[in-house]
Structure 1
Amino acid sequence: MVGPPAAPPDLAELPHLRLVTAAVADWEPERSYDLITCVHGLHYLGDQLGAITRAASWLTPDGRFAAHFDPESVRRPDGSGAARAVVAALRAAGFEYRARRHLLVLDGGREVALPFAYAGADPAAGPNWTGQPAVGSYYH
């Protein structure tokens, strides 16, 4: 027999859990993390590469970052694609990109500098590989 869904746990029962609501662009964590994930979320951000590099610096030395990432959403200011250059730069910085699953992975926290400067975003860029509305990110 199936009963009603279980009630969510009382936060007092989870002393190591803390809910933080903040903009990823300017949030400064108080500690490092063993795992940072972003499931189908980067395509809603303007400065995707900025968020990725910031998250890399928040990892512990043995931590892992894993996020869905669509490099086709990264463009140059003239509208041309920058996907190949972005993936090459991410790989050179230590990331692994699994194209078939659109998965970007980094093991081990570090400062990451990519050779791109954020130029702006297009919130009406259209659907991404999931078919969901996405933001186009533009970089010099």
Structure 2
Amino acid sequence: MRKNATVLLDDGKLHASSVVANNAMNRERQLTGVNSYAKELGFDPLTRLTEPGSAWLDLCCGSGRALTQAAARRADVTLVGVDLVAPPATTGVRFVEAPVGDWTPDRAFDLITCVHGLHYIGDKLGVLTRVLKWLTPTGTFVADLDLASVRAENARGLPALLRAADIGYDTRRRRITCTGPRDLRLPFRYLGADDKAGPNYTGQPAVNSYYENGLTLPII
């Protein structure tokens, strides 16, 4: 390996990284209020759960505080949170301890959110293509995705690829949105992640994701 070359991590080593294990982006984020999902997303998540039995999946849910507060307001909906370290059990919420990239749900969802969680995931594009299949026909997906952290030779073409699949991407807010399920195919093969990328636009250390057609680097 070349001196000073970036060394890429596989998922096992990435999950053990202090950048991923210690990130605090959603640790205390509430459902509504100043530091909340409603402020971050621009809407109260419960407004998207219009019918009894509607379901909200929150990926990289952190402490699950928003889901717990949602359960206190709505006992007629299904609430699921997934994180590397699951919060304590809470009435009305199913918390799953698993890497987002490895977990598969047993139902579709009316709302799927990932508030700043993709910053700490290795294969961001792989997770995106999987998650979009989990929406109900009218379901909404909203996530923060910093395309500057996707390292590939033709990564600049990603917004156009997303638009072609009728998936919205707000370059100013770095926000991806989609209504209804998608079978998204992207011309990238995941190589590994760099947990030493430094702070991203949030000011917090984040993870860069490398794909073929970009810098081909060794995975340790």
TM-score scaled by length of structure 2: 0.54
Alignment of 1:52-131 (within 5 A): 52-76=128-152, 82-131=154-203
1:89–1:115 CA contact under 8 A, matched in 2: no
1:46–1:120 CA contact under 8 A, matched in 2: yes
Task: Kindly state the Cα deviation for residue 14 of structure 1 after the two structures are TM-superposed.
Answer: 4.4
Task: Kindly state the Cα deviation for residue 24 of structure 1 after the two structures are TM-superposed.
Answer: 1.2
Matched, 1:138 2:214: no
Task: Kindly state the Cα deviation for residue 93 of structure 1 after the two structures are TM-superposed.
Answer: 2.0
Q: Using CA pairs below 8 Å that are at least 6 residues apart, which structure has the higher relative contact order?
A: 1
1:125–1:133 CA contact under 8 A, matched in 2: yes
Matched, 1:29 2:101: no
Q: Which amino acid aligns with 1:131?
A: G
Q: How many residues align?
A: 128
| Identity level (%) | 54
Q: Which amino acid aligns with 1:54?
A: R
Distance in 2 (CA, whole Å) between partners of 1:133 and 1:23 is: 19
Spell out, residue by residue over 1:23-80, the C-alpha distance to the aligned partner (whole angstroms, 9 max, x if none).
111111000001101111101011000111111011111111100110001112xxx6
User: Could you say what secondary structure the match of 1:137 adopts?
Assistant: strand
> Larger strand proportion, structure 1 or 2?
1
User: Could you say what secondary structure the match of 2:207 adopts?
Assistant: strand
Distance in 1 (CA, whole Å) between partners of 2:192 and 2:142 is: 24
User: Could you say what secondary structure the match of 2:94 adopts?
Assistant: coil
Query: Which residue is 2:84 aligned to?
Result: none
Distance in 1 (CA, whole Å) between partners of 2:162 and 2:211 is: 14
1:62–1:107 CA contact under 8 A, matched in 2: yes
Q: Which amino acid aligns with 2:101?
A: A
1:73–1:135 CA contact under 8 A, matched in 2: yes
RMSD: 2.1
Unaligned runs of 5+ in 2: 1-67, 79-92, 213-220
1:74–1:138 CA contact under 8 A, matched in 2: yes
TM-score scaled by length of structure 1: 0.82
1:42–1:48 CA contact under 8 A, matched in 2: yes
Distance in 2 (CA, whole Å) between partners of 1:121 and 1:86 is: 18
User: Could you say what secondary structure the match of 2:195 adopts?
Assistant: strand
